[in-house]
Each structure stands twice: as C-alpha cells, then as structure tokens.
Amino acid sequence: MERRLKLVLAGLVGAALLGASGDAASAKEARVGVLMPLTGRYAESGNGVMRGAEMIVKEINAKGGIKSLGGAKIELVVADNGSDPTKTSLEARRLMNDEKVAFILGPYSTPEAQAFMPVADRYEVGGLGLQTTLVPQTPYFQTLSIAAADFGKGYGDLVKWLRQKGAKIEKVALTYANNDYGQVVQKSAVESLQAQGIKVLEAIPVEPGVKDMTPVVLRVKSLAPDAVISVVYFQDGVLLHRARFNLGYDDPIWIGGSAGFSDEKLWNVLTPEVASKTLTDVFGFAFFSDDANLPGMKEAVRRGQAAYPDKPIEQSFMFGAQAATLVAAALEKAGSTDPKKVNAAFRALKFPAGAPEVMLPMMVSGISFNDKGLVEGTSPLFVQWKDGKKHIVYPEAVASAKAIIKGVN
C-alpha cells in the first residue's frame, strides 16, 4: 500500500513537472527565434547580425547556459525572411506557432517590423527589432534602434552644431527612401531645420531598389544646396556615392545615414578609389563605431575579432551581439520559456551606462526600455571616414577625431 502511494505521488510529481512546460525545472533548452534577412536587400546586415548573435549564444552556452532555467542552453531557430515583409509575417507565424520559440530576435528593418507586429500581437510572443525605426504598436515588440522621428532631429542637431562651428548652411536639400521610415525621418529633419531658420529647398523621394542614383544627384545639383541630407539604405548608398563620384559633384556638405553612409563594409564595396573621394568629408549617421570609449563594446569587439578573424566587426554584428545579450538576460530574468514572461522580463531589463552588457555607443545612458518599447536616452553618432576606418566626430563628448567641415577646415 505504502509502495503504491509512493508510486502515485511520484506520478503526480512527474505529471506536474511535465505539465509545467516552460517552467524552470523542466527546461532543457530555450528556443529563441532569429528572424533576419539572410538573403535579399538587407542580407549584408542580416548576416552580420547573425554572426554577432551566434557568438554571444555560444559564449553563454559554453558558460553553462541560462542559470535560472537550470542551465538550459539557448537554441537559435533561424528563419530567413529574404528582406521581404510578407515572408517576415509568414516566418514569424511559423516560429511562434510551429517552432514554439520563447522570443524572437528580429526582424531587421522597418517594413519587416510592420509585418511582424500584428503576428507578435496575435500570438503574444515578443520580438526585438534591430534597425526598426518605428514606434512599436504592440507590447510584444521593442526595438534597439532610435525612432525615425529622432533620426530627423539628430540630423537637425548636427546641422546646428556645424553652423556653430562656422559652416555656411543656409539652404538644405534632402533625399529620402520613400517608405515609412524615410518619410518620418524626412519630416522630422525638415521640422528641425526649419526651426533653425534654414531653407529646405526640396525633399526628394527615392524608391528603395532604384538601379541608378545619378538622376537624383543631378536634381540635387540643380538645386545648389549648401548641405544635403540623404536617408538611404546600404545599396542605395552605394549607388549614391558612385553617382557622386562619376559626376564629380562634391560641392555641398553631405550628411546621411545610416547603413548607406556608415556601414563598415561600405568602404570596400565602393572600392577605396571611390570611397576615399566620396566618404572622407561626409557625415555618416551611425549607431556604432569601434573607436568609442565604451568598455562593453570594446570587449565584444575583441571577442568578435577572435571568433571571426576574417570578417569585419561592424555595426550589424554589434547589434546582433547586443540583441542576443539582452535576450539571454531576459530569459535569465524570466526563469521561464513562457513567451509572455520572457517578453515582460525583456521590457523590464535595466543596465546602467558603462555596464558590460551595454555594447552600443549610442546608448549613452545605459539600457532601459520605456513603455513604448524604445531604449531611453539614446543619442545618434556621426562618423567620418579616413583610410577605410570610421571615426566618431559628433557628439564631441564621445568623439575620437576632429570633424572635417567643408569651408571651415
């Protein structure tokens, strides 16, 4: 009788453990989705993110996994969205519904995030956007990026600073990617410039995927601005700089971002001959530059260089490393693989400025998320290129080099 009672009790305990799927004691692994553009337009960046995330996950797993989950190893379930919003939606649904992931690292871009958010809201699984510059519309989405409206303000602040330094900027032209991101950045930049009394000559929309930027540069040239602000993606940026090089048009102070002006691979893809002529005196909006004085970043760069000696440790890589670090911290904090708990834990993460977990220099105040899912207290960086290396020139507080300003120095 006593033996039978023990068996029943053991059965009950076993059933309770099995039933509590997602709780700490039963977790063997924590499945985290990675929804990235590994092919298509943003593949360059998506693959960089992937490398950064994989490095962090390998390190955490090697150190014993997620302690609060009994040493559960993080398993990355990778999905390629092909840089396509429709595929993002389908793959997000698969990761949440079929793969039962606890959280999703991704998607990468704003259009992808727009497709992702309704799915996250429906399945109540959290996601972390990388270069998603919209304000999240669901409690199940947050972003590492600065919101698009703050991009525009960042451009305006730089122009203000350049004028304080003696640059003659009275007339500005803008070119922008004609999507939600580009439109919001353009609008807020125009507002910021007009508030300074600067004349905005024209804001020229450019369709992402354009095959030649020469007509756009020619239109800018016909406007004869003192400065130009270009909101472009990587590939459009390459075309823009090639067109500037071919036309020999280098009169205005050119400001732009982000990947099309500051991605680490830009110099080599353009070839040094074109890059040295087109990038050395432009100002590139950046989230990352490895010359910043930030302990967490320096350490992650060092580990990245050891893990991937033949690959550049650039912005996308650092975003991947930062994102994976935060997802792992959220799993640790949640002590569960229940997506709702992980998402709540993610939103509640707090790291002070200079903490080893803070790897992106733009997070000057440390990391904490506001109620909209945006990182609080971020500040854009502006870099200039010299001999294939980026140097932060603004804000001066974190600058590693003196800015080259046309007409001033």
Partner 1 sequence: MPIDVLLQATTQGLLMGSIYALVALSLTLIFAVGGLLNFAHGDFMVLAMYAAFAVLAAVGVDPYLLAVPLFGLFFLVGTGLFRGLVRPVLSEGLLVGAQLTLGMVFVLQNAMLLIFGGDHLSVPTVLSNRNVAFGTVILPLPLLVASAVAAILSIFLYVLLMRTDFGRQVRAVTQNRDAAALMGIPIVRVQAKAFGLGIGLLGLTGAFLVAQFTLTPSMGLDLTLLALIVMVFGGIGNFLGCLGGGLIIGVIEGLGTLFFGGTVGAMAPYVALVLVLLLRPHGLFGEH
Please report, as ranges, the residues that interact with partner 1 according to CB under 8 A. 38-41, 43-44, 46-47, 82-83, 175, 178, 204-207, 209-212, 214-216, 218-219, 221-222, 234-235, 238-239, 245-248, 265, 268-271, 273-274
d(CA 377, CA 311): 31
Least spacing, CB of residue 91 vs partner 1, in Å:
15
Smallest gap from Cβ 247 to partner 1, in A, equals 6
Q: Which is nearer to partner 1, 137 or 178 (CB)?
A: 178
Distances (CA, A) of 201 to 53, 193, 204, 255: 42, 11, 10, 15
Least distance in angstroms from the C-beta of 37 to partner 1: 8
Is 289:312 a contact under the CB 8 Å cutoff?
A: no
**Of 277, 91, 252, 79, nearest to 174 (Cα)?**
252
CB closer to partner 1, 206 vs 300:
206
CA 207 to chain centre: 21
Half-sphere exposure (Cβ direction) of 184: Cα atoms closer than 13 Å: 14
Choice between 242 and 333, CB closer to partner 1 = 242
Please say which residue, 209 or 354, places its beta carbon nearer to partner 1: 209
Cα 170 vs. chain centroid, distance in angstroms? 32
Closest listed residue to residue 158, CA positions, set 206, 116, 196, 102: 196
Minimal distance in Å, beta carbon 291 to partner 1?
23
CB atoms closer than 10 angstroms to residue 5:
9
Please tell me the distance from the alpha carbon of residue 160 to that of residue 169, in angstroms, as a whole number. 9
Which of 197, 195, 203 is closest to 173 using CA atoms? Answer: 203
CB of 189 to partner 1, least distance (A): 16
Our CB check for partner 1 shows the closer of 161 and 234 to be 234
CB of 379 to partner 1, least distance (A): 29
Nearer to partner 1, 60 or 206 (CB): 206
Cis peptide before 215 (omega within 30 of 0): no
Q: Which is nearer to partner 1, 40 or 395 (CB)?
A: 40
Q: Which of 259, 236, 237 is nearest to 390 (CA)?
A: 259
Of 43 and 297, which CB lies nearer to partner 1 in the complex structure? 43
CA distance 180 to 148: 9
3-class state of residue 118 by DSSP: helix
CB of 77 to partner 1, least distance (A): 18
Shortest Cβ 230–partner 1 spacing (Å): 11
Least CB distance from residue 210 to partner 1, whole Å?
6
Contact by Cβ (8 Å): 162, 174: no
175/258 with CB nearer partner 1: 175
